[in-house]
Structure 1
Amino acid sequence: MGITLRQLRAFCAVYELKNFTHAAEALNLTQSTVSKLCSELEKSVGLALFERSARGVELLEGTAELYAYAQEAFGSLRAAERSLSSLAGLERGEVSIAASPIMMHTLVAPVVARFHARHPNIVFDLHELTGDEATEHVLHGKADLGLVAVESQDPRLDCRVAYRGPMYAVVPAGHPLAAAGQARWRDLARYPHILLRGTYAVRRKMDQILLDQGLTVRSVAQTGSLTTAFAMIRGGMGITVMPSYVRSVCEEMGLHALCIADPPQVLHELSILRRAGHLLPRAATAFLAAFETHLDGLGQPAPSGDSSLS
């Protein structure tokens, strides 16, 4: 007997939740049905996949490999569903996008709104995730497109840099640096910083610049959210460094974005991801063209001394 999609769905649910009862609830099936489907799958592949224990479900050798293949299969099916749903041109269809919450807010959402005004029957599925999670969503076909700050070298992905923009310092209103409209790295090093965690590309780039210049900064807080950092900056705790596409959020929160004047200007890059060798649905192809045009218009390095937030 061959492997069925029903067996794979049950297997993936148990793999992800590490619990037969929770998997059954997620799939709206009985626990005995999920157990039976997993047993049938084990017979088909000739390998035990799970072992029950007092701690829950233990994954056995080969289970992770089968899960990866299952995700590849489901990814192809999801992509096919979206592609077939858009055969009527742009009269209907779905576009699925994965990006960080701040990228979604500042870069993706405005284009989605304009695209929706022209094509109101296209449905958007937006996944707000970390960069690694966004990459996995594209790999597994859960998203047509991903926007990430680190260029992927995975041969299964088509990865292209679509945005290059300068880095800015963010300071509260009334800060000594605000009046100058720009700052140098040595100026920024004199003040306490709200730092993003090391998983952020902008943080890693900042660390490398400081190392190259022999500078250090005093951290008063670390966070995984730019909006949280901005709230603390507004409260006077410190300053931070961020990519230029977040300047609109600074403006909304009453903060000042200062061009970092040290030559050469350091640029922050964003890449668009898609699955290599897979055709995008028509709706996703049309959205990608609009999105790339939008990013091209934004990604112009600001000249030294430009602190405009417009």
Structure 2
Amino acid sequence: MNVNLRQVRAFVAVYRLGSVTRAAQQLNLTQAAVSLLLRQFEETLGVRLFDRTTRRLTPTQAALDALPVAQEVLDGVERLVNGARGMREKRLGRFGFAASTSAAAALMAPMLQRFRERYPEVEAVMQDRPPERIVEAVLMDEVEFAIGTPDRRTAAVELTPLIQDRLCVICRADSPLAQRRHLRWRELKEVPTISGSRRNPIRAVIDETLAESGQHFVPTHEADYVATSLAMTLQGLGVSVLPSYLVGPQHRRDLAAVPLVGPAVPRTLYAVVKRGHQLSPAAQAFVELLVGGVARPAAGLARAGGAGAGPVGVSPQADARWNTEATKAIHNPSTSR
């Protein structure tokens, strides 16, 4: 059977309008073309759809039976076209993505809200995953993309930088350390510190980078969950060693971030996409929103002493020079080694 949409449209138009002439006008075709399409449709179905007289066309019972199905076909095609257009214009659609648990907690809620306001008919479904599982979720096609910092590189995925940060001392805003422009790793021996265990990806980067300069870091407390680390810092039990972007908005008035140098340890947050996969228009729009919306590390962390939000998450004496020096170091960490 070789039925095409032009034949179905011709049949429905002739049925609705009761005339080949009017159907031809509506379809912007000649009468001969409509008559041919109708005849081909009847031949394909093997039934007569209209009884023809010199004055009018009368639908047969076969036409009565065929009309609802034919109309459903046309309606389905229209829904398909409109849906595709809506997805292309990012007015409709659904996509899933994964985010590492720490990035999800610190960054994703306001970004999801902003995306919903901009694209109310698009459904963005987030799964928070342990950082070591975000690449797996992408490669297994469980999600379109992921947000995080892969603990190892693979040619099977493509990485788009979202935040180029570095490790900082996260301390209470009223701590004397918050007055510092930066801190060196060797100075951390003088204060209680909180960092992940050796299986933690951030701790692994710390150990590897410091080993290159002959240094060693042993935290006072080990906490693999960022929420635990920050809670301990807020209670005055020690300073956390984290990228500043992992300080969520609920803590940014109470904490300050002081960049660590000698060496600086970069920590970049990426959008992770399976190589060769083209993101759906809605997913691409969300990634573009992330690129523009989370590009400044931990914007809004408090100044020391509760003096108000600084331009980025650093202590007050660092505020004046952060944008010219610390940001330069973030994008080129070798300058602060």
Q: Which moved more, 1:203-212 or 1:300-309?
A: 300-309
* Secondary structure at the counterpart of residue 126 of structure 2: strand
- Partner in structure 1 of residue 178 of structure 2: 178
What per-residue deviation string (whole Å, max 9, x for no partner) do you get for residues 146-186 of structure 1? 12212654343223344311221012354442333432212
Distance 2:203 2:143 in 1: 26
- Partner in structure 2 of residue 288 of structure 1: 287
Cα 1:187–1:248 change in 2 (3 A) is: same
1:204 deviates by: 1.8
Distance 2:297 2:195 in 1: 25
Of 86, 89, 113, the match for 1:88: 86
Contact 1:86/1:283, CA 8 A, preserved across alignment: no
TM-score (norm 2): 0.58
* Secondary structure at the counterpart of residue 318 of structure 2: coil
1:225 deviates by: 0.7
Cα 1:299–1:223 change in 2 (3 A) is: closer
Distance 2:175 2:214 in 1: 24
- Partner in structure 1 of residue 197 of structure 2: 197
Q: Which amino acid aligns with 1:137?
A: A
Q: Which amino acid aligns with 1:109?
A: A
Q: Which amino acid aligns with 1:88?
A: G
1:192 deviates by: 2.2
* Secondary structure at the counterpart of residue 96 of structure 2: strand
Q: Which amino acid aligns with 1:266?
A: V
Distance 2:151 2:144 in 1: 17
- Partner in structure 2 of residue 231 of structure 1: 231
What per-residue deviation string (whole Å, max 9, x for no partner) do you get for residues 102-126 of structure 1? 2113333322211110111111211
Structure 2: segments with no counterpart, 5+ residues? 1-81, 300-311, 324-337
Of 300, 318, 324, the match for 1:306: 318
Question: Aligned residues: percent identity?
Answer: 22
Distance 1:159 1:211 in 2: 26
Cα 1:302–1:248 change in 2 (3 A) is: closer
How many residues were matched structurally?
Answer: 226
Contact 1:170/1:256, CA 8 A, preserved across alignment: yes
Distance 1:213 1:249 in 2: 34
Distance 1:189 1:250 in 2: 29
Verify: 1:158 aligned to 2:170, yes or no.
Answer: no
Kindly report the root-mean-square deviation, in angstroms, between the aligned alpha carbons of the 2 structures: 3.4
1:245 deviates by: 0.9
- Partner in structure 2 of residue 125 of structure 1: 125
Distance 2:83 2:157 in 1: 23
- Partner in structure 2 of residue 267 of structure 1: 266
- Partner in structure 2 of residue 245 of structure 1: 245
- Partner in structure 1 of residue 21 of structure 2: none
What per-residue deviation string (whole Å, max 9, x for no partner) do you get for residues 253-288 of structure 1? 7233212243x6332122221122222222112212
Distance 2:218 2:103 in 1: 27
Cα 1:265–1:152 change in 2 (3 A) is: closer
Contact 1:96/1:145, CA 8 A, preserved across alignment: yes
Cα 1:108–1:250 change in 2 (3 A) is: closer
1:243 deviates by: 0.5
- Partner in structure 1 of residue 137 of structure 2: 137
Cα 1:250–1:118 change in 2 (3 A) is: closer
Distance 1:146 1:261 in 2: 29
What per-residue deviation string (whole Å, max 9, x for no partner) do you get for residues 203-255 of structure 1? 22222344344444443322221111111122222222110212445844723
TM-score (norm 1): 0.62
Structure 1: segments with no counterpart, 5+ residues? 1-83
What per-residue deviation string (whole Å, max 9, x for no partner) do you get for residues 70-89 of structure 1? xxxxxxxxxxxxxx976522
